[in-house]
Chain A
Amino acid sequence: MVLTEEEKRVALEQTGSILENYPPDRGNLIPILQQVQEKLGYVPLVAMEEVARHLGVPAVDVYSVATFYNQFRLIPPGKHQVKVCMGTACHMKGGHIILDCWKRRLGIDVNQVTPDREFSLERVACVGCCTMAPVTVIDDEVHGKVTPTRVDGLLFSFGVKIPKGQQKEGETVEQG
């Protein structure tokens, strides 16, 4: 995904103000990246380069940390972030079916953003609400006991209308 000049400018500005609060100590790398993500919603390359300069480490070190940990997102998120829990309890209660539903309805795969940047889809390991399985978290709000029809209901609550029978080609799962 290519960032606009405006996005780059905002990213640099925000990163700069975050860096003012941290002494150049490598131990601060993860807290800084977390702050960047909290402010921007993602960690763009320009921000990583800026952080590397501040800490006096090679940019590749920052990149290796940002890509090692699941928390960091390298592309801008959608306006609404859909996180489908794939923990044990959710899996046993059909979490993969719920994930399939989101993929089908949003028309995107995991770690992608809808073209209008309204929704992004992620899988999370476990949000610790195993008793409410299967769980979907949308923008920090936890929705428990999700069913395929509930997925439609949730999308509807965000003003998305689901036209019946508008599935794209090749969506059927191969048989047997």
Chain B
Amino acid sequence: MSRDKVIKENFTKLQQKSRAAWESLRERPLILVGTATCGRAAGALEILKVIKEELAKSGLEASVLEVGCMGHCYAEPLVTVYKPGFPPICYGYVTEGIAARLVQDFLGGDDPCLEFALAALEANDMVPAFTDFPRGMIEKNIILDKCGLIDPENIEHYIALGGYAALAGALGRDPGQVLEEIKASGLRGRGGAGFPTGRKWETCRLAPGEEKYVICNADEGDPGAFMDRAILESNPHQVLEGLAIAAYTVGARQGYFYIRAEYPLAVARVKKAIEQARQAGLLGTNILGSGFDFDVDVFQGSGAFVCGEETALIASMEGEPGLPRHRPPFPATAGLRGKPTVINNVKTLSYVPHIVERGARWFRETGTDGSPGTAVFALAGKVINTGLAEVPMGTTLREVVYDVGSGIPGGKAFKAVQIGGPSGGCLPESALDMPIDFDSLSQAGAMMGSGGMVILDEDDCMVEIARFFLDFTQKESCGKCTMCRLGTRQMLDILEAITKGQGKPGDIELLLELAEDVKAGSLCGLGKTAPNPVLSTIRYFRDEYEAHIKERRCPALMCQSLIAYYILPEKCERSCDACVGSCPVEAIYTNEDRIKVIDQQKCVKCASCLEACPPQYKAVIKLSPPELVNEMGA
């Protein structure tokens, strides 16, 4: 029997077994509970317990599965119910009471409890589906399509829904053909810089040497980004399959997952996935009878942002401090232990099975010419629907913020969107209609980065944002290049002075000058991009810098040193004590008119009173500069 026939036969057997398991699961009602880290933080594990208890109590027959993240993190905990005769319905903001009702009334009776439903998963006549909402029309799920719908700890679910077919297909072809497919697809690295994946693989494939490695970079250190975590927790097999295809293409027999230690659940789920793949014969020696050997280990990163950089990542795997090295030689020719090494981001590898399975032409149908495919964003900050969203490249920022994210909460005004984390920049309202892709973003002074997108509203101070990111990069600078180590320190000192109202004329110009020096004098991406948040905020929000420096005023009322809390006497309700009880330092007293007053000497500016003041009074306000308090009193 020929080699590809053997592979096909072995894989078909595996597929049939998995499909049978999946079908049998669907014969009874099925309840999915999202228990990725985001779900757990919202209390999904308690919901799971209630559902299991209720099922036991009522004696109803149903399967319960722990699944990953669907991306609708704003509505966690999420529960999806499959009941024969009904469309699959997803419920959001599930409480223990709702969970109990879903079991009693929906599974026990026939009331689908639509008052708690978020949307149906498929179009139907009963409940609006996700695809009926603006968000669903813009979203196009390629690498998130199975997230939240399958048990990430069960390889059979992944295989039953088409998983590992791409690996089986690739093993039946010549590695060169697989490489051509990836090259033709125009896939670009989703780790941030957007380097063509096919070229990276080709360099490694052509590099001399028997021993080669493939590494999945899951050192997602960018604060404000959680796509990689969600994918690893929700569908680890997809990434593993991509890694195996990469290994086959470049000729590697050993692979690694480099996962940051702050993601314990992702580490556990990937380890389990590797174990299951080994048992199914999809990893190890002679995979599916193809003669191809490949195995994978997990290496836990130790919390250094710079290790997201390829050469620093390699250094840390070799037991060294994570200092980047000069490139060239690139890791594709001399990487881990000096051997040719391909390092790809979690998302990049996730696309690989889809491209191999459906072809480069299919992949190119989505997105733009220069950046084919989709972009996955982690929406966070001041946006109503926080969570994960996968949209075609070329979608405008406005669509992402207003249609996918449903806009800004509390009727506040949009101010900026921060893309790309500490390496990216802040884009103002005027940039909202720009189509998102690798090239347009860098032109605007931001960067695709790994895909963190933090929405900022009128209450966010742009100087403070710049200071925050620079504080992060300054702390994370490995210290190798002088410009990055000391230049960022100088810039941070200036920004700190500005946010404290101690800025001097000429500070902005000095920041711009230092920024150019840091960019030019740094070896790796961390230093080269560290000034971006400062540069982009000066470019688009220079007036805010000037207000801080010239007027000692924070227009967004955010910088703590430049504001004071004040209780408006005319609005204060005399018989209410809410603010007094909320103050952690007893800074609020009642004056002779029974009006509450803040003792400015005691106040620690924690904003508790502002939150505690009942909305019908809204008596607590912030003032900037703080000296305004004296004028108010007068």
Contact = CB atoms under 8 A, between A and B. Distances in A.
Interface of A: 25-31, 33-34, 55, 64-65, 68-72, 86-89, 91-94, 97, 100-101, 104-105, 124-133, 135, 140, 142-144, 147-149, 152, 164-165, 167, 171-176
Nearest to A68: B321
Contact of B223 (A25, A86, A93): A86
A143 B40 CA distance: 9
Nearest to B461: A92
Given A27-B318, A171-B604, A71 B302 contact: yes
A38 B472 CA distance: 26
B319 A176 contact: no
B42 to A, nearest CB: 6
Contacts of B321: 64-65, 68-69
B387 A131 contact: yes
Contacts of B560: 173
Contacts of A94: 607
Contact of B608 (A130, A133, A149): A149
B380 A89 contact: yes
Contact of B601 (A93, A147, A175): A175
B347 to A, nearest CB: 15
Nearest to A126: B223
A129 B421 contact: no
Interface stretch (B80-88, B197-205, B260-268, B483-491): B260-268
B38 A92 contact: no
B41 interface: yes
Interface of B: 37-38, 40-42, 73-74, 76, 220-226, 229-230, 261-264, 299-300, 302-305, 316-322, 337, 378, 380-382, 386-387, 418, 421, 452, 454, 456, 460, 465, 468-469, 472, 476, 478, 501, 560-562, 564, 582, 584-586, 600-608, 611, 625-627
18 contacts: A26-B318, A27-B318, A33-B302, A65-B320, A71-B303, A87-B224, A88-B380, A88-B381, A94-B607, A127-B37, A127-B262, A131-B73, A132-B41, A132-B76, A147-B611, A164-B586, A176-B501, A176-B561
Most buried by B among A124, A132, A171: A132
Contacts of B460: 92
A104 B603 CA distance: 13
B224 A149 contact: no
Given A69-B302, A72-B302, A89-B381, A30 B316 contact: yes
Contacts of B261: 34, 71
A131 B380 contact: yes
Contacts of A143: 41
Contact of A128 (B263, B300, B456, B468): B263
B438 to A, nearest CB: 21
B322 A171 contact: no
A85 B564 CA distance: 25
A92 B221 contact: no
B600 A88 contact: no
A125 B303 CA distance: 9
A142 B38 CA distance: 9
A140 B264 CA distance: 9
A21 to B, nearest CB: 14
Contacts of B452: 88, 130
A130 B226 contact: yes
A74 to B, nearest CB: 13
Closest 3 CB pairs of A and B: A88-B224, A29-B319, A69-B302
A80 to B, nearest CB: 17
A81 to B, nearest CB: 13
A89 B38 contact: no
A101 B601 CA distance: 18
Nearest to B465: A92
Contacts of B600: 175
Contacts of B42: 132, 144
A88 B418 CA distance: 10
Contact of B322 (A55, A68, A135, A148): A68
Contact of A126 (B40, B225, B418): B225
A100 B469 CA distance: 19
Contacts of A174: 561
Given A71-B302, A132-B41, A148-B584, A88 B606 contact: no
A176 B608 contact: no
A92 B382 contact: yes
Contacts of A88: 223-224, 380-381, 418, 421, 452, 454, 468-469
B390 to A, nearest CB: 16
Most buried by B among A31, A126, A147: A126
B501 A172 contact: no
Contacts of A55: 319
Contacts of A173: 560-561, 603-605
A92 B456 contact: yes
Given A31-B300, A72-B302, A129 B38 contact: yes
Contacts of B421: 88
B226 A31 contact: no
Most buried by B among A68, A70, A93: A68
A101 to B, nearest CB: 7
A132 B418 contact: no
B582 A129 contact: no
Nearest to B45: A141
A172 B223 contact: no
Contacts of A149: 582, 608
Given A28-B319, A97-B606, A172-B602, A128 B262 contact: yes
A26 B221 CA distance: 24
Contacts of A175: 564, 600-601, 626
A28 to B, nearest CB: 7
Nearest to A62: B319
B224 A89 contact: yes
A93 B409 CA distance: 13
Nearest to B608: A148
Nearest to A164: B586
Contacts of B41: 129, 132, 135, 142-144
A117 to B, nearest CB: 23
Contact of B76 (A27, A29, A131): A131
Nearest to B322: A68
B38 A131 contact: yes
Contacts of B605: 97, 173
